[in-house]
Structure 1
Amino acid sequence: MTLNTPFPAPTAAQREGAPNVYALDSDYAVLQAVGADALTFLQGQLTNDVAGLPADAARFGGYCTAKGRLLATMAYWRADTEEVPGVRLLVRRDLAEALVKRLGMFVLRAKVKLSLTELRVFGVEAPQTTALTEVAEAAGAQLPAQAWQRADLDSGTWIAAPAAAGASPRWWWIAALDQLAGNAAALAASAAADAQAWKAADIAAGLPWIQASTQDVFIPQTVNLELVGGVSFTKGCYPGQEVVARSHYRGTVKRRMAYGVLAETPPAPAAAGVDVFDGEREDEPSGRIVDVAGAAVLFETPLAALETGHAPRVGAPDGPAITVTALPYAIVPQG
């Protein structure tokens, strides 16, 4: 048996005392909505408030089908120009193009243009004080410390990412090619191509990133979207809003997303969308993997299954066990 840890070992590119930088372009993409109606259009599409988004902040949210099932989750922020309002959205790359097309179906007469940008996406962690200094020098200013706060600098957009308790400060860094100059260019050049450690930190923070293999599977509450601030119950209508609101106000959410670490390496790689078994019922799966990176796993499961004390299993009733670990927020049963 090979015991696992949730975070892969640092790569050779990650110097002691230096920032850990990850190239995320292969996993994430940035969309944009630009135009006079960009805010109002997205206000009527996403689960979270867009119209009231502060200029110095980002938010997490989702995009649902009419039946309330998630087609995407995203971090989004204002990206206005002098002429028109704009919003940028960070999403999983494997669903980005389809998302632009689907949202475009509902533009109708709204003055908004949707497109996939060529912006670079990095993840940056500062495990030590010396790393904080180096990141600030590369960014060109002190960076926000509170999760979801944002700074637009000459080096690009920096968004403070949520993290597990006691974890290192970290940021999403989104930049155009012409912003990667000077110290920023050196920081980007140090990026590790293998971003598993960054994704594992997202998982430990309990962020439910929907990807192509998990589209149209989960309603927002079953992946804790409202627990990470990704749902507004007062913003008004959006696709699936009635289903999401009914589940919230009637207290019918009996399934949640949990976090754990694989106790051993599976014979076949664990992947998003793979079945999870609760250890008691061997005839059928009880849930599915939402996201996985190395040994770190987010999985959707009945709350009752978590209360049994039986280790969940991946892929089969006798598959690799998941050691359930606390999320940085409480999973509170409704009702």
Structure 2
Amino acid sequence: MAEGSGTNSSQYNNPIPVADFDPDVDDSAYGDDDVLSDTTSIPSTIFRHRYENGRRYHKFREGEYYAPNDDQQNDQLDIAHHMFMILLDNRLYLAPVENPKKVLDLGCGTGIWAIDFADEHPEAEVIGVDLSPIQPQFAPPNCKFEIDDVTSEWTYSPESFDFIHIRTLYGSIADWPKLYSEIYDHLEPGGWINQLELTIQFKSDDGTLTPDHIFSQWSDIFHEAGEKFGKSFKAVHDLKRWIGETGFEDVHEVWYKLPVGPWSSDPKMKEVGRWNFLHCNQGAEGWALFLLTRVMKWTADEAKVFIAKFRQALRDRSVHTYFEAVVIYGRKPLAKNV
């Protein structure tokens, strides 16, 4: 549906007024370096990737995550990081964390958030965890990376972290309450969780997005695929409740709109929209291929035609679309409940 139900616009942190569309963006990929050529020393079996439809995927816990781990998709992750930094006014997180000592970044991807956090907090030990060994070898001395599945049983000592960070694990977690329980158990009393997630529901506030538009079809198909995959994209609307039910207190939820393309008259949102155009254009094929072919049983050609139509629609000056981001953060109680 083009105008799916969600948080009322008055609750958003960033209204995005419409201006004349003025796309001043480049369609090219970002960078050509092979990040696997300078990764940390990890057993060679981890480097045995899987190739499908011309894209490279992780072999460890094969099929647990839908997106590729090749250069094209890694560029998308770094583009998203820059977009989020603009959106959050150059902040890596919203939780009121003070003097962090040991930090865990779940699903760290290219490691860019963990590296930036380690640079910003040289007194903290930062650990990034991901299924894929795509992190750089050269990182701050207080930052290291581990290859693991965060949905498996954790081997860290209980209450060993004072800050745990999650970003864009949407569509990759089957049991969020179980993950939050692990996080709760491994945070020290008073420690914080901070999570940023995206919706995949394209919307417009001015009626320019119709129910039969390719963006609306994209949202509907991927919501269906997420349900079939067993890792719902709709779960984003339940995360705050689950975090609270786990036992966290002072739980806050802040919603943002992310325009798709630089159509907003607000300078900040215009810049966010430029980066979101790149983010969607760069990421679309990787987001879609596995879910459409493996889960929805489309042919590769059918999927690629659909992706091409989506990318073409990104350049449409007449449709003023956005999707949403949410930041949720909460604190483990200082005293355990009896």
Point out the structure with the larger strand share.
1
Q: Same fold (TM over 0.5)?
A: no
Point out the structure with the larger helix share.
2
- Greater relative contact order (Cα < 8 A, sep 6+): 2
